[in-house]
Structure 1
C-alpha cells in the first residue's frame, strides 16, 4: 500500500472503537505500513492526521515495541501535533512509553528510549500542561511527567508548581488527577 493509498484508507476511519481497531489490525498485520502511518499522523494540518493518530494509539496499545525503530521521528515531531483529536492519542502514546520505561519487566523501551527522546516528550508534555488542552491530554501528561520525574527531581518540582497554580480553575477531573499526582510527589 502506498502512502497515498493509506492516506485515502485512513480517511474512512471513524470514532467507533471497532473501526479504529480494524485499521490498527491492518497496520499490525503489515508493520511495513507503520512508517507511512506515522508520516500521515505528522501531516498536522491535514484532518486525516487525527485519524492516523487514533489508529497509531491502538497500534501502540496492542504492540508498543513496534514504535522502537521510530522513536526519533515520533519524539522529535510530537510538538507539531495541534488538533485536539490528535493530541490526545499522541499524549497517550507518550504515557505508554513512560510506563514501559519504568516497568519492572524488561523490555526494549528501557534501552531504546534515549535521553533526547525523553527530553522531547518532557518538553512537549510541559507545553501541553500550560496550554489550553483537554483534561485527557493533561491527565496523560501528568502521569508521563510524574514517571520521568522519578529520575529528574526538577520535573516533579515544575509539575507540582503547575498543578498547584492551575488547580482552582480546572474541572473536577483535572482536580482529582492533580490531587493524586501531588500526593505521589509529596510522598517521595
Structure 2
C-alpha cells in the first residue's frame, strides 16, 4: 500500500473504536505502513493528520514496542502537531512511553528510549501544559512529566509551579489530575 492509498484509507477512520482498531491492526500487521502513517500524521496542517494520530495511538496502545524503530521520527516531530484532535493522541502516546519506561516490569522501551527522546517528550508536554489547549493533553502531559521527571531534578519544580498557577482557572478534570500529581510529587520529595 502506498502513502497515497493509506491516506485514502484514513478517510474511513472515525471516532469509533472499531474503525481505529481495524486500521491499527492493519498497520501492526503491515509494519511497512508505519513510516507512511507517520508521514501523514506529521503533515500537521492536513485534515487527515488527526486520523493518522488516532490510528497510531491505537497501535501504540495495543503494543507500545511497535514504536521503537520510529522513536527518533516521533520525538523529532511531536512538537509540530497542533490540531487539537491530533494533539490528544500524540500526548497520550508520550504517556504510554513514560509508563513503559518507568514500569517495574522489564521491556524494550527502557533500552530504546534515550535521553534525547525523553527531553523532546518533556519539552513538548511542558509546551502543552502552558498553552490554552484542551484538558486531555494537559492531563496526559502532567502524568508524563511526573513519570519522566523522576530522572530530571528540574522537572518537578517547574511542573508544580504550572499546576499550582493554573489550578484555580482550569476545569474540574484538570484539578482532579493535578491534585493526584501534586500528591505524588510531595510523596517522592519527602
Q: Which category describes the TM-score, using the shorter chain as reference length?
A: over 0.9
Which string of whole-angstrom CA distances, capped at 9 and with x for unpartnered residues, describes residues 125-148 of structure 1? 000000011111000000000001
CA RMSD, 1 decimal = 0.6
Please state whether the residue corresponding to 1:140 is helix, strand or coil: helix
Aligned mates of 1:9, 1:159 — CA distance in 2: 40
Match in the other structure for 1:144? 144
* Number of positions where the alignment pairs a residue of Structure 1 with one of Structure 2: 188
Q: TM-score of the superposition, structure 1-length normalised?
A: 0.99
* Mapping of residues 125-136 of structure 1, within 5 Å: 125-136=125-136
Query: Is 1:107 the equivalent of 2:107?
Result: yes
Q: Matched residues in 1 for 2:165 and 2:182: separation?
A: 12
Gapped regions of structure 2 (runs ≥ 5) = none
SS of equivalent to 1:103 = coil
1:135-168 alpha-carbon deviations (Å, 9 max, x no partner): 1100000000000111112101100000000000
* CA deviation map 1:7-34 (0-9, x unaligned): 1111111111111111111111111111
Unaligned runs of 5+ in 1: none
Runs of 4+ aligned residues of structure 1 deviating over 6 Å after TM superposition are none
For each residue in 1:165-184, what CA deviation from the matched residue of structure 2 results, as whole angstroms up to 9, or x when unmatched? 00000101100100110011
Q: Does 1:167 align with 2:167?
A: yes
TM (norm. structure 2) is: 0.98
Match of 2:71 in 1: 71
Q: Quick one: distance in 1 between partners of 2:43 and 2:152?
A: 32
Deviation at 1:101, TM superposition (A): 0.5
Work out whether 1:8 is the aligned partner of 2:8: yes
- CA offsets, 1:87-112, max 9 Å, x none? 00000000000001001111111111
- Counterpart secondary structure, 1:43: coil
1-side partners of 2:165 and 2:66: how far apart? 38
